[in-house]
Amino acid sequence: MEEVWEVFSKIDLRVGKILECAPLEGSDKLYRELIDLGEGTPRLIGSGLNGKIPVDEMLSGLVVVFANLKPRKLASIESFGMVMCAGSEDKSVIELIRPPEGSKVGDRLQLVGNPCGGVALRQEKEELLNPKKKYAERFSEKLFTNDKAEASYNGVTIVTSEGGIVRAKSLANCHIS
């Protein structure tokens, strides 16, 4: 398998539902979120979206979570994932990447045409990424919205296992992080 597709196959992007979201005490930029990824227990995730996306928008609809990052300390909490967003070049505008209505919480995201070995990625959880192998960095270098604001990796559209297109609200041709 080509390296670019191997990188995507190691990344575990999941459909999530934010159950709770509030500013993190002691931080002007961080939210503290509890997110259901269909694992039985919600995950605690911190994100630097306070002041960029209102709480009511965080709580409405489904989100995409990078689920197999090594946990990291953010201010007073340990974060177990990352909520995926599109951002304008200067980061003045940030939008959540959203799976379509009707998507299933916990569903692992795929690429159109399954270029990662020709088959759909398995639904089982992937191992935590080894930061020394720089999978997250290599992944994010190729993660953009296309001209229709659809999330894409290396030019291939990201979809749910049911084929629903994952997208930003309006940010076309922007980096996703």
Bridge partners of 143, per DSSP, are 153
User: What class does CATH assign to 3-176?
Assistant: mainly beta
Q: Please identify which residue in the block is written with the tokens 């259901």.
A: 36
Between the two ends of the chain, the Cα-to-Cα distance in Å is 25
> For residue 32, what pLDDT is reported?
97
Q: Is the pTM of this model over 0.75?
A: yes
Tell me the pLDDT tens digit for each residue of 86-109.
999 888 899 999 999 999 999 999
Residue 58 has pLDDT above 90, yes or no: yes
Which residue(s) pair with 114 in the sheet?
none
Rounded (5°) CA angle 170-29-101: 35
Q: Which two tokens stand for residue 172?
A: 């076309």
**Dihedrals phi, psi of 6, to nearest 5 degrees:** -60, -40
